[in-house]
Amino acid sequence: MSVGTAADATYLAQVRGDKLRLLYRQSWHGVFGSLVAAALWVALMWQQAPRSALIGWMAAMAFVTLVRTIVFFTYNRQQPADDAVLNWELPYTISLLASASMWGVGTVIVMPADSLLHQTITYLFLIGLAGAALAAYGVFVGLTIGVMCAVSLPIIAYFLYRGELVTVLLGISGVWFLLTNLRALSVHNNAIEQSFQLGHQLRESGKIAEWHARTDTLTGLNNRRAFASAIDALLRIATRDNTNASMMLIDIDDFKRINDDHGHAAGDAALHHLATLITGHLRQSDVCGRLGGDEFAVLLPGTDAPAAREVAEKLRARVAESALPLSAGYINLSLSGGVADS
């Protein structure tokens, strides 16, 4: 996988995670809204439809609502971070589509077969729920299409199958409703995806810009500005805790000669080589920076001058033992420097 493809895949995963978080945040009310709508529909059908069927359908809706409530409750309790949120897409999808199918198929089975009025009422309920799905779940195109079709297609197919003028017109209007809303859904989703992706790209660009503002790009160490900030912070801590802090100043002997004799690429390699040796020699709490040219500085918290000189001597010996490999051979480096304590 190329770098560009990997970055695109990362952005897509991040955007999908953002959309899923938004889905959980904005659609929880739909769980209970669906149950309330179910109770109202049952009340409207109570005098015409078989009551045992209505009670059974309402019980099934209550069970699905309970499952969806558990999914939302568990998700909100765990608050999954980063890519872990993607594991919650499947439970959400299954429970939602189960509820949508209960509406779409169940109401067509239960509604009165001999009352066009009650069938039309049912049709309006289902079309309304399909429209609500566009607003509640529109950040996920596939899921929204699935919900809208599961809710509305059974009754649309039923009306078209009946073949009467009124039912055919209602069926055609339902098909037109789906087509127009699916077009709006596509535009809406593209805008949301672009917004989320742009947000991630801006944050990533900000991190890169901040890294460049604080890092010496050749060696990967702190630059002068970042090192000065670290000195201020660590010296304040040392003063507060009444502890020692020392600083080593280091440069490469005859660095100009390396550039003159072997080229600037060799000089850059020498700087990178020294930075690697320094960071490998220091503690995690120590702070190293490149001040400019071949000048390096190391801040050693909790270290007095004699201990700092011992660290400097060990570093000097290590650099002397670690020749710099070049295409034309090896260069032995040596260091000069000094130590000061606070």
Residues 6+ apart with CB under 8 A from 144: 133, 134, 137, 138, 185
Residues 6+ apart with CB under 8 A from 31: 65, 68, 69, 72
Residue 299 has pLDDT above 90, yes or no: no
Q: Mean pLDDT score of the chain, rounded to an integer?
A: 84
Q: What pLDDT score does 4 carry?
A: 47
Residue in 104, 125, 133 with CA at minimum distance from that of residue 23: 133
Q: Best-predicted range by mean pLDDT among 3-12, 42-51, 231-240, 273-282? A: 42-51
What integer is the mean pLDDT of 276-299? Answer: 85
Residue 106 banded pLDDT, cuts 50, 70, 90 = very high
What integer is the mean pLDDT of 81-89? Answer: 86
What integer is the mean pLDDT of 100-117? Answer: 93
**Are 284 and 202 in a shared domain?**
no
The more confident residue out of 66 and 219 is 66
Please indicate, yes or no, if residue 303 is contained in any of the structural domains: yes
**Are 160 and 29 in a shared domain?**
yes
Please indicate, yes or no, if residue 216 is contained in any of the structural domains: no
Of 166, 181, 208, which residue is a domain's last?
A: 208
Residue 6 has pLDDT above 60, yes or no: no
**Are 203 and 260 in a shared domain?**
no
Domain total of the chain: 2
pLDDT in tens, 135-193: 788 778 788 889 999 999 999 999 999 989 999 999 999 999 888 887 767 666 665 66
98 sits in which H/E element: helix 89-101
Residue 323 has pLDDT above 90, yes or no: no
Residue 222 has pLDDT above 60, yes or no: yes
Q: Is pTM, for the whole model, over 0.75?
A: no
Residue in 323, 241, 233 with CA at minimum distance from that of residue 277: 323
Range of the domain at 94: 3-208
**Are 202 and 233 in a shared domain?**
no
CATH no. for residue 273? Answer: 3.30.70.270
Residue 200 has pLDDT above 50, yes or no: yes
pLDDT in tens, 228-259: 888 777 777 777 777 778 888 888 888 888 88
Maximum CA extent, the chain: 101
Of 168, 184, 208, which residue is a domain's last?
A: 208
Q: At CA 21, angle to CA 203 and CA 35, rounded to 5? A: 160
**Are 20 and 147 in a shared domain?**
yes
**Are 182 and 272 in a shared domain?**
no
Report yes or no: 134 and 183 within 8 Å, Cβ to Cβ.
no
* pLDDT-wise least confident of 114-128, 136-150, 201-215, 227-241: 201-215
Please indicate, yes or no, if residue 174 is contained in any of the structural domains: yes
* pLDDT-wise least confident of 46-60, 118-132, 232-246, 302-316: 232-246
* pLDDT-wise least confident of 1-10, 86-95, 103-112, 189-198: 1-10
Residue 133 has pLDDT above 90, yes or no: no
Q: What pLDDT score does 204 carry?
A: 65
Q: Is 304 helix (H, G, I), strand (E, B) or coil?
A: coil
248 sits in which H/E element: strand 245-252
Percent of the chain with pLDDT over 90: 33
Round to whole Å and give the CA distance between 245 and 340: 9
The more confident residue out of 334 and 60 is 60
Q: What pLDDT score does 287 carry?
A: 85
Please indicate, yes or no, if residue 215 is contained in any of the structural domains: no
Q: What pLDDT score does 59 carry?
A: 96
What integer is the mean pLDDT of 94-100? Answer: 94
